[in-house]
Structure 1
Amino acid sequence: MARVTLSAKGAARPDAVWQRYAGIDQWASWSPQIKAVHCVSRRLRPGMSGTVESVVGIRAAFVVEAVDHDRHTWTWRVCLGRIPIRLHHEVRPQGRGSTTSLTMYGPRLVLLAYAPLARLALHRLVRP
């Protein structure tokens, strides 16, 4: 099991960035690989589950393991077929803007293949 951490800094305020995470319907607006999120809850919460549909039609099942709205952190487990990936997200103040980080755990080749898309999404997430 490998670990890869990515981060991005931007001018968006931490609360605004967090709302982009917490509002499930906003995910596709900043994450170019996401076409839709299929789940009952429209607000990020522990225990919620569903599927994420990519723009190329791949569906991945997910379960949110933890959410701390006060600390702006959350962790979820995504399964691409039989390949499990665990992702931990954080949002922090950075000057007048924010920084966000993503730590991914899973098979090294899968994480390295996903990293460019994840990096792009993080940069879009912290844009004003």
Structure 2
Amino acid sequence: MARLTLRASGAACPETAWERYASVDQWASWSPQIKAVHSVGRRLRPGMSGTVESVAGVRVAFVVEAVDDDRRTWTWRVRLGRIQVQLHHEVRPQGDGATTSLTMYGPRLALLAYAPLARLALHRLVQP
């Protein structure tokens, strides 16, 4: 299993960036590969499950493993067929804005293939 960490910083305040994560209805506004999130709940919570639908029509199953609103961190596991990836997200204050990090664990080729889309999404997440 491989590990890959990505980071982005921007002028959005940490509370704004965190809310963009915590409300799944906002995911498509900053993550250009996401068309919709199908889940019972609309706010991140441990045990939440569903699917993320990409703009290409691919549906990826997910389960949220941990959420810490106070520390602005959350972890989830996504699965597409036999490929499974764990993603850990953090939002931290940085100057007048926020920095976010994503650490992914999974098959090396899957992480490298997803990294450009993830990098773009992270940069959009922390923009005002």
TM-score grouping bracket, smaller chain normalisation = over 0.9
CA root-mean-square deviation: 0.3
- Report 1:92-103 matches (<5 A): 92-103=92-103
Aligned residue number for residue 20 of structure 1: 20
**Paired AA for residue 76 in structure 2:** W
Alpha-carbon deviations, 1:41-97, whole Å to 9, x = none? 001111000000000011010000000000000000000111000000000000000
Counterpart code for 2:92: R
TM-score by length of 1: 0.99
TM-score normalised by length of structure 2: 0.99
Q: Secondary structure at the match of 2:17?
A: helix
Instruction: Report the AA paired with residue 96 of structure 1.
Output: D
4+ runs deviating over 6 angstroms? none
Q: Match of 2:11? A: 11
Mind listing any 5+ residue stretches in structure 2 that lack a counterpart?
none
- Could you say which residue in structure 2 is the equivalent of 1:124? 124
What percentage of residue pairs aligned between the two structures are identical?
80
The count of aligned residue pairs is: 128
Instruction: Specify the alignment match of 2:87 in structure 1.
Output: 87
Q: Which residue of 1 aligns with 2:113?
A: 113
Gaps of 5+ in 1: none
Deviations 1:26-47 (A, max 9, x none): 0000000000000010011110
